[in-house]
Chain A
Amino acid sequence: MTRQKLLDLYFMEARAKVIDLAAFMDRIERAPGEEDFRMRAFRDALKELERGNADRAKRVLLSLSDPTDKPIPAATTKAASGAWPEK
């Protein structure tokens, strides 16, 4: 499928998503209180969008991942937060 056809198919959806991201960041910035590791990880992930090599999705996922390789001593929660707290 050509770039033009893919733009026809997905541009409006991607446009809506990028505006949503901007509004999300504004909303966080306006709110009182402190941010946490998730927002720092989010901003790091955004930097990956600027680097073009047709592997942005992979690099965003890698930047949000726990990079360590040893099992943790014990699971204290079942949930994942979406970003690695120790980054």
Chain B
Amino acid sequence: MRYIEPHGHMVSRTTDDYVDMATAGCACVCEPAFWAGFDRSSADGFYDYFCQLTEHEPKRAAKFGIPHFCWLCINPKESEDVKLAQDVISLIPKFINRPNVLGIGEIGLNKNSRNELKVLEMHIEVAAQHDQLVLVHTPHLEDKLKGTRLIIDALKGDKRIRPERVIIDHVEEHTIQLVLDAGFWAGMTLYPESKCTPARAIDMLEVYGNERIWMNSACDWGVSVPLAVPRTALEMKRRGHTAELVDKVVYQNPLKFLSQTEKFKLG
């Protein structure tokens, strides 16, 4: 089996995880910029984090034969402080041309506040100016539906943003149709406790089709499973899906989306 992990916060994971992913057939990992689990005290913390994502983590991944790509932003959990967000966003152009940077992400909303929305719009502006791919995080639990709607409105409100170059992540049964109907790509996140289980992800593939859709583990410092994608591939086989369809969903689809930036090349 071969698969792409399109969303993994590898700076939070161990070398054992890299070994397991390589063993399971991971062809590359893509790491969106994310909340550290605590608020960083200044833009300098983000400068260091962007260096980690663009210089150090790719080297660590390479030791296990896994190409590493990343996305840059200040995540929505730290977007209530608009001044901090402005400072961090002003750092992005310094890093955007680095070879492993795929685009802007994971931007989006967390509690659906006015400031979060303002910062989302600032990120959309940077993405449009620099013609970048966009990866969007949708809020958790009771906030997801409203947040997904607000995000779609914000993205649709900027005519420079082409929906086929945007992936809206963490969709569930109540948001997937909204995302696909608006022309965006949809990401399904496989978590043990929230978001979506392998069985539900496969249900969604069966109901909503397998175009413009990918699966990811979104493994980070919390309860999450770095091998969630290959395990879901196994579950697809148990459900009677062909090896071709499994390959399409876990490899060809992310390859198709990510290849929209010339920086995404698998050796």
A residues engaging B (CB < 8 A)?
Answer: 1, 5, 9-10, 55, 57-58, 61-62, 64-69, 71-78, 80-84
Contacts and interface: CB of A to CB of B under 8 A. Distances in A.
Given A1-B240, A64-B141, A84-B142, A71 B114 contact: yes
B185 to A, nearest CB: 20
B112 A80 contact: no
B247 interface: no
Interface stretch (B60-68, B99-107, B122-130, B144-152): B144-152
Contacts, number: 80
Contacts of A64: 141-142
Nearest to B140: A80
A10 B149 CA distance: 33
B111 A72 contact: yes
Given A71-B113, A73-B113, A82 B146 contact: no
A62 B77 CA distance: 23
A5 B113 CA distance: 46
| 10 tightest A-B CB contacts, nearest first | A75-B111, A80-B141, A61-B174, A65-B145, A58-B173, A75-B113, A80-B140, A57-B173, A71-B114, A84-B142
B113 A65 contact: no
Given A1-B240, A65-B174, A78-B77, A72 B113 contact: yes
Interface of B: 35, 77, 80, 110-117, 139-146, 149-150, 172-174, 199-200, 203, 238-240
Given A61-B174, A69-B149, A80-B142, 5 more contacts: A55-B173, A64-B142, A66-B112, A66-B145, A78-B110
A84 B144 CA distance: 11
Contact of A71 (B117, B174, B200): B117
B142 A68 contact: no
Nearest to A54: B207
Contact of A69 (B113, B141, B146, B199): B146
Given A57-B203, A75-B116, A81 B111 contact: no
Contact of B114 (A10, A72, A84): A72
A75 to B, nearest CB: 4
A72 B114 CA distance: 6
A49 B132 CA distance: 42
Contacts of A77: 111
B239 A1 contact: yes
A78 B174 contact: no
A66 B142 contact: yes
A65 B203 CA distance: 21
Most buried by A among B117, B141, B238, B239: B141
Given A9-B239, A71-B150, A72-B111, A62 B145 contact: yes
Contacts of A74: 80, 113-115
A29 B140 CA distance: 27
Contacts of A65: 142-146, 174
Contacts of B115: 74-75
Most B CB contacts (10 A, CB to CB) among A1, A80, A82, A83 go to: A80
B174 A58 contact: yes
A78 to B, nearest CB: 5
Given A1-B239, A57-B200, A58-B174, A71 B141 contact: no
A67 B145 CA distance: 8
